[in-house]
Structure 1
Amino acid sequence: MSETDTDLERGTDELARRAERAALRLANVDEATRNEMLRSIADAIREREEAILAANATDVEAAEAMLADGEYTQALVDRLKLDETKVESIASMVESVAEQDDPLGETLAARELDEDLELYRVSVPIGVVATVFESRPDALVQIAALALKSGNAVVLKGGSEASESNRALYEAIVDATADLPDGWAAHIEAHEEVDRLLELDDRVDLVMPRGSSEFVSYIQENTQIPVLGHTEGICHVYVDADADLETAADVAFDAKVQYPAVCNAVETLLVNESVAAEFLPEIVDRYEAAGVELRGDERTREVVDVDPATADDWDTEYGDLELSITVVDDVYDAVEHVNEHGSKHTESILTEDSDTAETFMTGVDAASVFHNASTRFADGYRYGLGAEVGISTGKIHARGPVGLAGLTTYKYYLEGDGHLVASYSGEDAAPFTHRELDGAEWTPGRLSDR
C-alpha cells in the first residue's frame, strides 16, 4: 500500500469515527434546531447561487467534452446541469423537508406488561448513513437535508463528473450548520475512500447508492453494510382493452418524454391486442415527433412501422428517448411480462375497469403500482415525503421512494418501578397483563411523573 493510500485510509477512518460521534449527539438535537438549520441551508444555497452555478458550469463543460468523445451519455449531462430555477427548487426542497413532521420520538406502539411496567417502541435515527451517487448534484442536498431532519450523520460521495458542483453545495451546507455536532456531514471524493468506507461496517449503519445498475451492484458486492437502493428502473405502462385511449396516450407520452433520463421513466409500453390497431398509430406519431426512437415486437410491427425489438430490449433501462413496445393478449399476459422483465420499481395500468386494475396492481411485483397515472409520479417529493434519498426496490426496511421514515429505526423503552423478573417466575408468578395502551406517548420518566 502506498503512502498516499495509507493516508486516505486513515483519513476515512477518522471521518467515520467523527460521523459516529456526531450521530449520537445529533440524535438528541431537538426538532426546532434541526428545522432552523435546514432553513439556514436553504438560505445559504440561495445566497451562493452565483458560485454554485459557476462551479456547475465547469462540470458541464467537462462533461460535454466527454460526451463529444463518446464517454458520457446525453442523459448524464442532462442530470448534471443546474440553472437558476433548479437552484431555487433545491432550496425550496430543503425548506419542504423542514416542514415535514418530525420522524423522531414517535411512539409506534405502547403496551402495559403489568401495573406500572410499560413498554414503548419509539422511532430513532439509524445512525451513520453513507450515500454514493452519480451525476445529479441536487442529490447531495436532498440526502443531507433528509439525514439532518431524521437525526442521522451522513457521508456523501458524488460522481467525479459533478465534483465542482458538489464541493460548492457541500460547503454551503457545512457553513450553514456550524452549530451542529462536528462531523455530522462529511464529503469524500476519491474511489479509495469509498472502498475503505465500505469496509467500516462497525461504524457505518447504512449505504444508499444512486446510479447505474452496474454501479449499485458494485456497492452491494463490496460491503457487509446493509445497502438500500435499486439496480435498475425498467418501468412499464400497460394500455388495457378498457382504457380511455385519449387519456392513455397522454399518460404514456408523459411517462417517456417528460424527463426520459430518470429511473421512473417508462421503458416498455404494453398494449392490449384489442386496441392496438386504434391506439398505436397515434401514439407512435406523437413519440416520433418528440424524437423517441421506437422498437417493437412482431405484433406491434404489423400495425406500425418501427424498428424490430430484440430480446435484450425488454431488459434494458434506456434512460433516454428510446422505447420498446409489445402487444399482449390481456392483463394476465401484461402482468407476466412485467414480472419477468421489470425491476420492481414502478408500473402503471391504464384502464376504466376497476377489476382489471386490481388484477394488475395486486399481481405485479413492484414498489409502486399506479392506475391511470404516469410512472413519473414515483418520487419522494411528489409523494409528499419532502424529498427522497433514493428508490428502494427491495422489500426489507423501506420500499419505493425513501423519505424520512426510511431513515429511522426504533428502540424499545421500558418504564418500570423496581420490577424484577423473579416476580414473574415460578409457581406463584404474577401474570403479565399485556394490555395495549392505545394513544399512549412515551416521555422520559412518564411513570414517576404521575
Structure 2
Amino acid sequence: MSLIEQAQRTRLAAQGLATQTTAVKNQALEAIAQALESSSPEIVAANVRDCELAQANGLASALYARLKLDAGKLAAAIAGVRSVAALADPVGAVQIHRELDRGLVLKRVSCPLGVLGIIFEARPDAVMQISSLAIKSGNGVLLKGGQEALHTCQALVKAIQAGLAQTPIDPAAVALLTSREETMELLKLDRYVDLIVPRGSNSFVQFVQDNTRIPVLGHAEGICHLYIDRAADLAKTIPIVVDSKTQYPAACNAIETLLVHRDVAAAMLPEVAQALIAKGVALRGDAETQAIVAVEAATAEDWATEYGELILSIRVVESLDAAIAHINTYGSGHTEAIATEDDRAAQTFADLVDAAGVFHNCSTRFADGFRYGFGAEVGISTQQMPPRGPVGLEGLVTYKYRLQGQGHIVETYSGQNARAFTHKALD
C-alpha cells in the first residue's frame, strides 16, 4: 500500500471516528489498554531487540534512555491510556451560544482537526500517548517513529489496531510509517494531513517547517534553567535542583543550566554541587563558579546545549535581571524555574521569562501533560501561539460556527429600514 493510499484510509477512518459517541471512544481506549496488556511480552521483547541494535550502533545515551521501554514503563503508559478515557470529551463542546435575532441562533462547537502526522525519535511510549489522545479527540493519526524504535513501534501499533478491531472504530485510524523516505512524503500530504507534530531537535523542527505546507506544532529541544535567587531557601532548593536534573536526565524538561545569584553563590554552591555530584552529575561552570567549587570550565557552547544526560552547566549571575536575560537568550521556551522566598522576585521572573512553563519553588520535571492532569500529551509546544506547553486533548480540536435560521436573509438587516440584531447570549 502506498503512503497516499494509507493516508486516504486513515482520513476516511478519522471521518467515521469524528461522529462516534464518547462512550464508543472510551470503549476503544479500554480495548486498546487490554490489547497492550495482552501483548506486553511481545512489546518488551521487541524493545529489547531495538535496544540491542541501538547499543551496537552507538546510539547517544539520551536517546537510548528514551528508547528503553521495560515492563514497568509500559504498564505506566497503559495506565495513561486509561486516564485519557476518564477525561472529558473535547468534541462537541459549545463555546459560544448566541441569538443573533429571534430564530437565528449561532453556536461555536469544538470538532476534531482530522488527521495528525506525528514524527518522533526514540520514544516508543509516545505511540500510546498520541494514539489515545487522537482517539479521544476524534482524530486519525499517522505515526512516524525513528528507525531505532522500529520493532517496538510495530509491536505497539499492532496491539492498538487489534484493540480497535474489537470496537466500531476502524483500526486504520492509527497507522505507522516505517521508512525514512516516508517522512518526506508525509510532509507533502497537505490534502490528507491537518497537523504535523515533529518531536526532536530545533534543527529538525525547522527542517519540517521549511518543507511542508501543513501547519506545524513545534516540539523542539528543552534547554531548561533553574535560577537560585538571593532569597532562596537552601534546604528547599537542593532537592529541587537534584530532581530537576537527575530524576530523568534524558527528558526535555530536565534542567541543563543552573543560575545562581552572586550574593548566595559562595554559601550555596558547595552544598548544591556536592548533592549533584553524589548523583553522578558532571558539572561545568563559569569562572566565578570555578572560584567556589572545583568543576570543569564551561564554554559559550554549553549555555546553548541540551545534554540530555548527567551534565549540568553552572553560571553565577549578578542579579535577577541578569538571570532573566540569560534565560531569554539561551532558553528554548520550554520550562524555566526560580527558587526564592521573595514573592516579588518570583512574580517578576514569571512575567518576564519567555517560556511555556514558568515554575516557582518546584522541579521543572513537573512540565508534563500527565502530571498536569491532561492524561497524556502529543508533545510540549515551545512556540508562542497556542496551544503552548504540554498539548493534550484541547490542543487537538478546532471549532466550527454553526448557524441555525428560519429562512433569515441578510437583506433584512440592511438599508434604511434594517432590522437590528439582538446579539443575546443563550445558556
TM-score (normalizing by structure 2)? 0.98
| Alignment of 1:283 onto 2:268 | no
Q: Distance in 2 between matches of 1:242 and 1:79?
A: 36
Question: How far 1:192 moved relative to its partner?
Answer: 1.3
The residue aligned with 1:4 is: none
Is the deviation greater in 110-119 or in 209-218?
209-218
8 Å Cα contact 2:120/2:146 also seen in 1: yes
Question: How far 1:373 moved relative to its partner?
Answer: 0.7
> What letter is aligned with 2:158?
E
| Alignment of 1:320 onto 2:317 | no
| Alignment of 1:180 onto 2:169 | yes
Question: How far 1:230 moved relative to its partner?
Answer: 2.5
Q: Distance in 1 between matches of 2:80 and 2:249?
A: 22
The residue aligned with 1:65 is: 56
Question: How far 1:216 moved relative to its partner?
Answer: 2.1
Given candidates 354, 364, 367, the residue that maps to 2:356 is 367
The residue aligned with 2:251 is: 262
| Alignment of 1:272 onto 2:261 | yes
8 Å Cα contact 1:314/1:324 also seen in 2: yes
8 Å Cα contact 2:164/2:171 also seen in 1: no
The residue aligned with 1:417 is: 406
The residue aligned with 2:236 is: 247
The residue aligned with 1:6 is: none
Question: How far 1:275 moved relative to its partner?
Answer: 0.8
- The DSSP-based 3-state class of the residue aligned with 1:348 is strand
Listed as ranges, the gaps of 5+ residues in structure 1 are: 1-9, 441-450
Question: How far 1:214 moved relative to its partner?
Answer: 2.9
| Alignment of 1:76 onto 2:63 | yes
Residues 10-37 of structure 1, C-alpha deviations (whole Å, 9 max, x = no match): 7011111112222222110111000000
Given candidates 154, 163, 174, the residue that maps to 2:150 is 163
Residues 264-305 of structure 1, C-alpha deviations (whole Å, 9 max, x = no match): 000000101111011100111111122211111111111111
Given candidates 345, 351, 359, the residue that maps to 2:340 is 351
Q: Distance in 1 between matches of 2:233 and 2:239?
A: 10
The residue aligned with 1:128 is: 115
Question: How far 1:247 moved relative to its partner?
Answer: 0.8
The residue aligned with 1:92 is: 79
- The DSSP-based 3-state class of the residue aligned with 2:280 is coil
> What letter is aligned with 2:157?
Y
> What letter is aligned with 2:143?
L
Question: How far 1:229 moved relative to its partner?
Answer: 2.1
Question: How far 1:353 moved relative to its partner?
Answer: 1.0
> What letter is aligned with 1:200?
L
> What letter is aligned with 1:170?
V
Q: Distance in 1 between matches of 2:367 and 2:133?
A: 18
- State the 4+ residue runs in structure 1 displaced beyond 3 angstroms: none
State how 1:302-313 maps to structure 2 within 5 Å.
302-313=291-302
Residues 311-341 of structure 1, C-alpha deviations (whole Å, 9 max, x = no match): 1111111111011111111111111111011
8 Å Cα contact 1:79/1:261 also seen in 2: yes
8 Å Cα contact 1:18/1:182 also seen in 2: no
Q: Distance in 1 between matches of 2:369 and 2:158?
A: 25
Count of residue pairs brought into register by the alignment: 425
Question: How far 1:427 moved relative to its partner?
Answer: 0.6
The residue aligned with 2:283 is: 294
Residues 148-206 of structure 1, C-alpha deviations (whole Å, 9 max, x = no match): 00000100111111111111100000011013135211111111112111011121100
Listed as ranges, the gaps of 5+ residues in structure 2 are: none
Given candidates 202, 219, 222, the residue that maps to 1:233 is 222
Given candidates 127, 152, 156, the residue that maps to 2:139 is 152
8 Å Cα contact 1:292/1:322 also seen in 2: yes
> What letter is aligned with 2:21?
D
Residues 389-439 of structure 1, C-alpha deviations (whole Å, 9 max, x = no match): 0010112230000000000111101121111111111111100111222xx
8 Å Cα contact 1:133/1:210 also seen in 2: yes
The residue aligned with 1:105 is: 92
8 Å Cα contact 1:234/1:263 also seen in 2: yes
State how 1:6-45 maps to structure 2 within 5 Å.
11-45=2-36
The residue aligned with 1:444 is: none
The residue aligned with 1:222 is: 211
Change in 2 beyond 3 A, CA 1:182/1:286:
closer
State how 1:370-449 maps to structure 2 within 5 Å.
370-437=359-426, 440=427
Q: Distance in 2 between matches of 1:215 and 1:140?
A: 19
Question: How far 1:217 moved relative to its partner?
Answer: 2.3
Q: Distance in 2 between matches of 1:20 and 1:368?
A: 34
8 Å Cα contact 2:93/2:110 also seen in 1: yes
Q: Distance in 2 between matches of 1:136 and 1:312?
A: 26
> What letter is aligned with 2:163?
A
8 Å Cα contact 2:161/2:171 also seen in 1: no
- The DSSP-based 3-state class of the residue aligned with 1:183 is helix
8 Å Cα contact 2:94/2:107 also seen in 1: yes
Is the deviation greater in 290-299 or in 264-273?
290-299
Question: How far 1:212 moved relative to its partner?
Answer: 2.5
Question: How far 1:365 moved relative to its partner?
Answer: 0.5
Identity, % of aligned positions: 52
8 Å Cα contact 2:42/2:155 also seen in 1: yes
Q: Distance in 2 between matches of 1:243 and 1:397?
A: 32
Q: Distance in 1 between matches of 2:171 and 2:88?
A: 25
